[in-house]
Amino acid sequence: MIRVCVIDDEPLARRGVVSLLATFDDMQVTAEYEDGITALAGLLAQPPDLVFMDVQMPGMNGLDVLAALPPASRPLSILLTAHDSFAVRAFALNAVDYLLKPIDDLRFAEAVERARQLLRLRAVDDARAAANAPTKHLQKFSVRIGHRTLFIEADSVAWIGADGDYAVLHAGERTYIVRESLHQLAMQLDPARFVRVHRSSIVRLDQVAEFQPLTNRDALVRLRDGTPVRVSRTYIDSLLSALHAAG
């Protein structure tokens, strides 16, 4: 679904654009604004995919609103204007198209299709960039103790247990409480080094010294320091695969 914002100081003009957008199944109007200053605050707080922006508005015109947005977060825009004298600056701000008022239905549909195509291309580019970007895994844990913050190296943590909405790091004879859930930490840790073995525990693979199946189809691992950690049957296969991969 393409999130769309409509910005125009004329209520009738806004209703006309919203009405036209209602004929497209993939367009969802998420916000409407009647002046540039309010629109700028709204666009910064909740960026849409596409804006229909009136150029001439009192106080802050549409082009000034676009220019005030950080280029990296500037949405695609289709400008609404009674004159075409803004075209050069509009395209400098990466406007998709501009529509002369009163708006022609066919031209409106053409502008929407152009925006669709650009959003598809942007999605493909973003997916490629994400696939090629190196994955950064958590290397240190931040632990708040009173007014102090300790930084615990991931390499020093043998296993992690759950304590309600928090997690408990087990590093040698010390334990530290982290104000994040076990699920959140599991998403941040390197899966080649840390593996979840139970809904309430994660182990560091190179600390696993022994694996023992249990009669109820669960299992038990014993860490190098002798600590036993229960393994749920749900996680046994992924744990064994990770142990074999770690060699």
Both 183 and 127 in one domain: the answer is no
86 and 145 belong to one structural domain: no
pLDDT digits (tens, 9 = 90+) for 86-133: 665 666 677 888 888 899 999 999 999 999 998 988 888 877 877 776
Give CA–CA dist 149/145, Å, rounded.
Answer: 6
The pLDDT of 67-86, averaged and rounded, is 85
Domain region containing 235: 140-246
- Asked if residues 9 and 35 have their Cβ atoms less than 8 Å apart, the reply is yes
CB 82 within 8 A of CB 100: yes
Handedness of CA 15, 20, 25, 31 (dihedral sign): negative
Same domain, 124 and 230: no
Confidence of residue 85 (pLDDT cuts 50, 70, 90): low
What pLDDT is attached to residue 216?
87
Q: Are residues 21 and 108 in the same domain?
A: yes
Residue 220 has pLDDT above 70, yes or no: yes
Say whether both 21 and 100 belong to one domain. Answer: yes
The per-residue pLDDT for range 131-178, each reduced to its tens digit, is 776 668 899 999 988 889 999 999 999 999 999 889 999 999 999 999
Q: 98 with 187, same domain?
A: no
pLDDT score of 60: 92
Cis peptide bond upstream of 47, omega within 30: no
CATH label of the domain that carries residue 104: 3.40.50.2300
